[in-house]
Structure 1
């Protein structure tokens, strides 16, 4: 196991769980023990497809729908996505619908989609904020090696509580390399909603930074920029909990942890299907 994962390993395998704590807690007479009912357990799901595509309006509009960005599906979905992208060269518009997408892997969207739709590498930045507490420093020591204290001079317009002297900022340069680009010269629209989080929200911020696609729909959820949550073990009970320790700054300078990513064009609708239909009608009329 690499050194980057040692804090997680220690939290998961610590041998100091207090058995006495649980014995005392469970021995209390006022603690009600309810058996778990079978019907309350989640049903086991079969194989689920997170990707779908189609051509609409006599080939004028290409549509890709991604409900998740699973790392384990990259090798499988790359073939399906490559096959579809090879058919859209004559389309005027490409809609990438990620409504309801709670994230997954940044590599999914950067390698499978963006890299095929750029003629040359694109550079962007991930601007991250982390509080300088003991636990955070243990889990991401490399962040603090070149991070600077967050002040109004470094970055203005953020929530006041971030300027209390305990938060640090670091700007990471990132690059998406072009890979066998296809001959598509149409316009790209990334359709998002308030249920878009994590790396899916990061995709929206990438589009806002670089102009690779026009972001349409609703303002995304928060926690779209940052890192995987930390796992820690509570000292008395040994219970494991996760908390998001890292957040970021949007392309427009707003705090992603508070406002999400705002769309370039708002598309309204009572649900994701209606918003998609409204976008299709909007593009069809252009």
Structure 2
């Protein structure tokens, strides 16, 4: 990715969060759903697990983070996982166990694709030329048979229902008249970008001379980057904002095949200056081969040139696209962050998907190790607040410690 424009930034960073909310993978949630025309043999299950294990071993970026944060050496647990796969009773049980094993990586974008989610994935990727490799995986013959779909049965699927709320994804208020304004964004709803944007911008015009604007994204689990770019950054900033993100790739064959097909231009890590490299985590030097620098640039558009202070309220439920917003706002100094660390994983590309050779089951995984602008790993430390405060939402503004911290700052 060349990262020359915000369009590139949005296309590369977490479009797929549009449907990540559906991938809960909770035990029993998919009970009673059949897979495949016949039951897999024990050997076929073991071969599929071995294939998945090797793909991740060569390509997955966060094994060391998982060791440090969760005390799990996933690769070392191979024999334990093999035993669990061997004990599965049927195809449905096999899918649940695969997902349970992947859940021990503790990464929200690494999991099995269940049948109920298949049409959503299909509808999102079918018209995206830039994600043709993803669509090809979804529609290979073995996978379609495993999930019980045909292209004819899916031809009328639309992504319109993924976010179909008729209610605004925001609310506004004036906490202190003529001084402190408040904007709550509960979801980066891709279906309401334009509609919400019109009303949000009317609100901006009313508070353009205020001293402070509080943007509350606590509890916001993601959505579309376009929502916060078009409705928050562009109309409020009075100058172009730019942030650089380093993204590292392991050098595995499967990653290479996917990224080569997209025209990505990774460079060898040896081209990073020693001064910069020494600021980065040790595993970057020993576990990764290639990198890219993503430059996110957002310019003012129909801006009200807001000159007051902007505060952003965050908590651990802020994830993916919303974490990307928090990360960008902090690094570009667009806003002062108040609350607790986010849930992270807002920097990086769409999770890559692959199908297993015997079943056709589809697995997705995070493929790049992404650094915050301060060279820490976003997956590990997430996005930290500038002012750490209990993030609990108060029943009234006076009882909300985050809001009060912004008012008093």
Which TM bucket (shorter chain)?
0.7 to 0.9
The unaligned stretches of length 5 or more in structure 2 are 1-126, 148-162
After TM superposition, list the pairs within 5 Å mapping 1:1-286 onto structure 2: 4-17=130-143, 47-141=166-260, 142=262, 144-149=264-269, 153=274, 154-269=276-391, 271-273=392-394, 277-285=400-408
In structure 1, what is the Cα distance between the partners aligned to 2:187 and 2:216?
A: 11
Q: Deviations 1:174-208 (Å, cap 9, x if unpaired)? A: 21111122143210001111111112111122122
In structure 1, what is the Cα distance between the partners aligned to 2:254 and 2:266?
A: 18
Q: Deviations 1:59-83 (Å, cap 9, x if unpaired)? A: 3211111122122221111111111
Structure 1 residue 274: deviation in Å? Answer: 6.8
Task: Report if aligned partners of 2:266, 2:290 keep a CA contact under 8 Å in 1.
Answer: no
151-160 or 108-117: bigger deviation: 151-160
Give the number of the structure whose residues are more often strand, by fraction: 1
Task: Report if aligned partners of 2:330, 2:337 keep a CA contact under 8 Å in 1.
Answer: yes
Task: Report if aligned partners of 1:217, 1:275 keep a CA contact under 8 Å in 2.
Answer: no
In structure 2, what is the Cα distance between the partners aligned to 1:249 and 1:48?
A: 35
The unaligned stretches of length 5 or more in structure 1 are 23-43
Match of 2:198, SS state, is helix
In structure 2, what is the Cα distance between the partners aligned to 1:2 and 1:18?
A: 19
What is the root-mean-square deviation of aligned Cα atoms in Å? 2.8
Task: Report if aligned partners of 1:55, 1:63 keep a CA contact under 8 Å in 2.
Answer: yes
Scaled by the length of structure 1, the TM-score of the pair is 0.81
Scaled by the length of structure 2, the TM-score of the pair is 0.58
Give the number of the structure whose residues are more often helix, by fraction: 2
